[in-house]
């Protein structure tokens, strides 16, 4: 009897459930997946939004705002990171900062070869005249309401013999950190451009921890920009291990496809046969770019760091239409992901500005900043 009652109750429950939520058919012929090729695919949109700052920002989330403030920047390349300023054809002028601000940029990244302007032995004193020139560049940026990033660039020797140059590198930053400790936080420090060669993995992570500690002695909240080894390569982000610090911004550089962006580049071996490579911006091209950027965004979200795309650009041996398309695609995608960015570079081989006639290269400028 009990069993019969139980069976009836069970039957009633099952019937009630099927009335409330009708079961979905398990096999529907229209469900069969249609094979998709890359060219069929709609342009993929980023799946992840950058973390939004919480309403009462903790020190950790404040850095997202500080990273956003960099906004749209341009690298003042080939000037102060040449062995001596002017040797690579660019000498900075006051007017450049005015032009950059007027065009609508928010910041400048200033690559600097400090290592060529300091003593070789302890205490590695930086040349005072060179430092005065750096002060001038920073002052010009700040007085034009541009944020300034000073980046220690082209310390080639440390890439070959990291241990031998460790103390000197740290000594350089100790001096710079002391010198600029009272400069407003619209000055950002980037301890080293594109670590590469033997400066990798554990050695790079160790050196980074040390340089950050030295900077923090005098600059407790200065925003510091750091990136992975192998030329700030996005695929090396997973090997970047950072100390616990609330004021770090993570950077990567993007020059892919390399055979397009560096075609005919004199400093890249065997780049002559790449001449004529175009970038058409097909769905497949954009899919690859999006996949790269989403990898960065995923890493950033998992590791709680804002991202700054510190360099991207296509050399002037590529055709202007492709350069414009590619530049626009990179800048817009970076913005969609919430990355601030800096174009490589202002007025040399990748230049968005033609210094001969003191005029912007409009197609590139528009690709970066959009119509005025
Ligand atoms: C280097 C430049 C080079 C650029 C593109 C930069 O990081 O410092 O010398 O032109 O990358 O290759």
Q: By CB neighbour count within 10 A (0-12 exposed, 13-18 middle, 19+ buried), where does 13 fall?
A: exposed
Instruction: Report whether pLDDT(34) > 90.
Output: no
Q: Is the pLDDT of residue 29 over 80?
A: no
| Element holding 341 (H helix, E strand) | strand 340-343
| Residue with CA closest to ligand 1 atom 12 | 262
- Rounded to an integer, what distance in angstroms lies between the CA atom of residue 148 and that of residue 54? 26
Q: Quickly count: other Cβ atoms within 10 Å of residue 311's Cβ.
A: 25
Q: Could you read off the pLDDT of 98-117 as tens digits, one per residue?
A: 999 999 999 999 999 999 99
Instruction: For 67-79, write each residue's pLDDT tens digit.
Output: 999 999 999 999 9
- Mean per-residue pLDDT for 343-360? 98
Q: What is the mean pLDDT of residues 117-130?
A: 98
- What is the tens place of the pLDDT at every residue in 213-224? 999 999 999 999
Q: CA Rg, the chain, in Å?
A: 26
Ligand 1 centre to CA of 257 (Å) is: 15
- Mutate-to-test residue for ligand 1 from 109, 311, 349, 350, highest number of ligand atoms within 8 A of CB: 311
Ligand 1 neighbourhood includes 311 CB (under 6 angstroms):
yes
Q: For residue 273, give the DSSP letter.
A: G
Atom of ligand 1 nearest to the CA of 111: 8
Structure-model confidence comparison of residues 133 and 39, the more confident one: 133
Bridge partners of 109?
A: 75, 149
The pLDDT of residue 61 is 83
Q: How many CA atoms lie within 13 Å of 370's alpha carbon, on the beta-carbon side?
A: 4
Q: Where are the alpha helices (DSSP H) in the chain?
A: 2-20, 59-70, 94-103, 128-143, 156-160, 162-179, 201-218, 229-232, 258-261, 283-303, 320-336, 362-369
Q: What's the pLDDT band for 370 if we cut at 50, 70, 90?
A: confident
Which pLDDT score is estimated for 18? Answer: 35
Tell me the pLDDT band of 350, cut-offs 50, 70 and 90. very high
pLDDT value, residue 62: 94
Q: How far is the CA of 179 from the centre of ligand 1 (A)?
A: 27
Q: Residue with the nearest Cα to atom 4 of ligand 1?
A: 344
Asked if 281 contacts 316 with a C-beta cutoff of 8 angstroms, the reply is no
Give 60's pLDDT tier (boundaries 50, 70, 90).
low
Which residue in 81, 190, 194, 345 is the catalytic one? 194
- 223-250: per-residue pLDDT in tens? 999 999 999 999 999 999 999 999 999 9
pLDDT over 80 (residue 53): no
- Give the distance (Å) from ligand 1 centre to CA of residue 253: 10
- The average confidence (pLDDT) of the chain is 88
User: Residue for token digits 């790449």?
Assistant: 274
pLDDT above 50 for 165: yes
Average pLDDT over residues 178-182: 98
Give yes or no for residue 84 having a pLDDT over 60.
yes
Question: What is the per-residue pLDDT for 120?
Answer: 98
**Structural tokens at position 8:** 């009836």
> What was the pLDDT predicted at 212?
98
Q: What pLDDT, on the 0 to 100 scale, is given for residue 371?
A: 66
371 catalytic residue (yes or no) = no
| 362: annotated active-site residue | no
Residue 277 in this model has a pLDDT that exceeds 70: yes
């Amino acid at each position: 009897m009990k069993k019969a009652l139980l069976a009836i109750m069970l039957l009633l429950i099952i019937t009630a459930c099927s009335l409330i939520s009708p079961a979905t058919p398990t096999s529907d012929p229209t469900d069969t997946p249609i094979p998709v090729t890359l060219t069929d695919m709609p342009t993929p949109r980023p799946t992840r939004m950058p973390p939004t700052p919480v309403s009462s920002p903790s020190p950790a989330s404040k850095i997202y705002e500080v990273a956003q403030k960099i906004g749209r920047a341009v690298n003042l390349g080939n000037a102060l990171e040449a062995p001596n300023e002017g040797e690579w054809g660019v000498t900075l002028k006051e007017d450049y900062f005015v032009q950059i601000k007027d065009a609508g940029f928010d910041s400048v990244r200033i690559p600097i070869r400090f290592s060529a302007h300091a003593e070789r032995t302890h205490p590695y004193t930086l040349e005072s005249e060179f430092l005065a020139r750096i002060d001038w560049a920073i002052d010009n940026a700040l007085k034009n309401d541009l944020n300034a990033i000073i980046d220690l660039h082209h310390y080639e020797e440390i890439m070959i013999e990291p241990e031998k140059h460790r103390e000197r590198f740290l000594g350089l930053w100790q001096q710079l950190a002391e010198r600029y400790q009272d400069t407003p936080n619209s000055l950002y420090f980037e301890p080293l451009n594109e670590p590469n060669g033997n400066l990798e993995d554990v050695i790079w992570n160790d050196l980074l921890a040390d340089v950050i500690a030295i900077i923090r002695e005098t600059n407790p909240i200065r925003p510091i920009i750091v990136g992975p080894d192998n030329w700030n390569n996005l695929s090396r982000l997973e090997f970047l291990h950072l100390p616990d610090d609330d004021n770090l911004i993570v950077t990567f550089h993007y020059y892919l496809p390399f055979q397009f962006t560096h075609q005919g580049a004199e400093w890249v071996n065997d780049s002559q046969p790449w001449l004529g490579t175009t970038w058409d911006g097909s769905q497949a091209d954009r899919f690859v770019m999006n996949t790269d950027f989403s990898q960065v965004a995923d890493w950033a979200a998992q590791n709680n760091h804002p991202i700054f795309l510190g360099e991207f650009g296509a050399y002037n041996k590529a055709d202007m239409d492709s350069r414009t398309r590619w530049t626009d695609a990179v800048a817009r995608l970076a913005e969609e992901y919430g990355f601030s960015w800096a174009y490589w570079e202002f007025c040399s081989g990748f230049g968005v500005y033609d210094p001969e006639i003191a005029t912007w290269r409009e197609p590139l400028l528009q690709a970066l900043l959009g119509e005025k």
